[in-house]
Amino acid sequence: MGERIILHCDLNSFYASVELLDKPALWEVPVAVCGDPKTRHGIILAKNEPAKKYGIQTAETVWQAKKKCPGLVLLPPHHDLYKMWSVRVNDIYERFTDLIEPFGIDESWLDVTGSLHLFGGDAEKLANKIRKTVKNETGLTISVGVSFNKVFAKLGSDMKKPDATTVIPVDGWQNIVWPQPLGNLLYAGRAATQTLKKYGIETIGQLAACDPAMPEQLLGKMGRQLWEYANGLDKSPVKPRHAADPVKSVGNGTTFPDDLVRWEQICAGLMPLCDSVAARLRRHGLYAGGVSVTLKDVSFKTFSRQTRLDAPTHLVRDIYRAAADLARQLWKPPARLRSMTVTALYVTETCSTFQQLDLLDSTAQACGQRQEQLEEAVDAIRDQVLAQLAERFPEEDDEKALKAIAFGNGEEGEALPEEEL
């Protein structure tokens, strides 16, 4: 069997590009998309090419960006628009192959091994054709990496931007890949690169040349995986776009308009997050086998902890008890908290463990049934409220509307987006 032909398509400066589609006067002006500083979301989410020339970085604060570029134009995000354009672009990709795996909202892998012959048989020409089609039909540009595995295809798309194609061929790929900084390799994050740097490993080639036992000892399974990536051994398939992965976690988080400085405030903030997580689990007939809590303080330092539950549950009572216990362990007064996330872990479709345990205690079983009935009644009321809100505010998202009621101006964000509901 011949080598695979994998493309990685990356929408250039996606958020900013979408915002500028109907603002041609700003095309040559430094522009950044950011959250609202008034609601504690003054962070750069995306920037256009002119802004990049000033050294504007994603995730830096607005005041830092403004210091670099006083004339920087700031635009608010419109996530519904980004989702719409992401779907539209992936629909274009489907004209060229049915094997498409989105990677976040603005990137996708395409396996064109089986369809390349339909488009002339030249992978680079096909990549250029896809770039041209996306640009002509949407006004957006993409960078495309072409290679024989997913890791190198992504590396290629990152090498030349914007609106470009980079080929990393099966013959001689080492000459292109190995001189690259280790941090350019997929999943080689800051912590991993800093750890390996201490041992003289700073390029992909240096990692490839070392004994695989070394990175595995330093980084665990991820170390071995990175070594395999560096040696061109990635065999992971491109998963079909519409194939549903099993849900592994369900999470909700929020950034609060004011710092949380008292335990009572933390508890009050946890409850609606736990309620939302539990409601989602019940809605999809799922149960949580564990809970994690992540706190972020005003210096953006995060603290996380997780625990397994005695039995799978989708009751807010149980999830809140576990979350509050974790938060109590994590929070060290007088720390000031700006955001919290609650995530249900080890999600399953059965509560058999719960039922087996409670058969030994009829009182506990009856109590659990009453609690479930109560929370199902709350779900029904919630659905009625959402229906009324939908009539009054047809353009508002259901979750966003409820979050506005619960948190005021705080903004709700999802935990573990690639795996959650």
d(CA 109, CA 10): 9
> Domain range holding 141?
1-167
The residues with which 303 forms a beta bridge, in sequence order, are 295
Is 14 inside any structural domain? yes
Query: Domain check: are 11 and 139 in the same one?
Result: yes
Q: Residue 207 is encoded by which pair of tokens? A: 């990692």
Domain end marker among 207, 228, 243 = 243
* Single pTM value for the model: 0.64
d(CA 409, CA 403): 9
Catalytic-residue membership of 107: yes
For residue 33, is pLDDT > 90? Answer: yes
Query: Domain check: are 125 and 72 in the same one?
Result: yes
pLDDT digits (tens, 9 = 90+) for 39-86: 555 788 899 999 999 999 988 888 899 999 999 999 999 989 999 999
| Residues 342 and 326: beta-carbon distance below 8 Å | no
| Residues 132 and 96: beta-carbon distance below 8 Å | no
d(CA 219, CA 196): 9
Residue 320's nearest CA partner among 365, 363, 274, 267 is 274
Query: Domain check: are 234 and 333 in the same one?
Result: no
The residues with which 61 forms a beta bridge, in sequence order, are 43
pLDDT digits (tens, 9 = 90+) for 225-235: 999 999 999 99
Query: Domain check: are 202 and 302 in the same one?
Result: no
| Residues 7 and 127: beta-carbon distance below 8 Å | yes
pLDDT digits (tens, 9 = 90+) for 166-206: 999 999 999 999 999 999 999 898 888 999 999 999 999 99
Let me know if 257 is exposed, middle or buried by CB neighbors in 10 A (0-12, 13-18, 19+): middle
Q: Which residues contact 101 (CB under 8 A, 6 or more apart)?
A: 108, 109, 238, 239, 240, 241
Give the amino acid at 158: D
For residue 365, is pLDDT > 50? Answer: no
For residue 354, is pLDDT > 80? Answer: no
Number of domains in the chain: 3
| Residues 287 and 368: beta-carbon distance below 8 Å | no
Catalytic residue among 60, 101, 107, 411: 107
Domain end marker among 146, 167, 188 = 167
What spatial distance separates the first Cα and last Cα of the chain, rounded to whole Å? 38
- Name the residue with higher pLDDT: 352 or 282: 282
Query: Domain check: are 239 and 257 in the same one?
Result: no
Return the H-helix or E-strand segment holding 29: none
The residues with which 75 forms a beta bridge, in sequence order, are 33
Query: Domain check: are 59 and 128 in the same one?
Result: yes
Predicted confidence at residue 73, as pLDDT, reads: 95
Let me know if 356 is exposed, middle or buried by CB neighbors in 10 A (0-12, 13-18, 19+): exposed
Domain end marker among 198, 220, 243 = 243
Query: Domain check: are 32 and 139 in the same one?
Result: yes
Query: Domain check: are 258 and 223 in the same one?
Result: no
Is 172 inside any structural domain? no
Is 25 inside any structural domain? yes
Question: What angle, 0 to 180 degrees and rounded to 10, lies between the N-to-C axes of helices 398-407 and 362-392?
Answer: 100
For residue 372, is pLDDT > 70? Answer: no
pLDDT digits (tens, 9 = 90+) for 126-138: 999 999 999 999 9
| Residues 145 and 168: beta-carbon distance below 8 Å | yes
Predicted confidence at residue 408, as pLDDT, reads: 42
For residue 418, is pLDDT > 90? Answer: no
Query: What rounded mean pLDDT belongs to the chain?
Result: 85
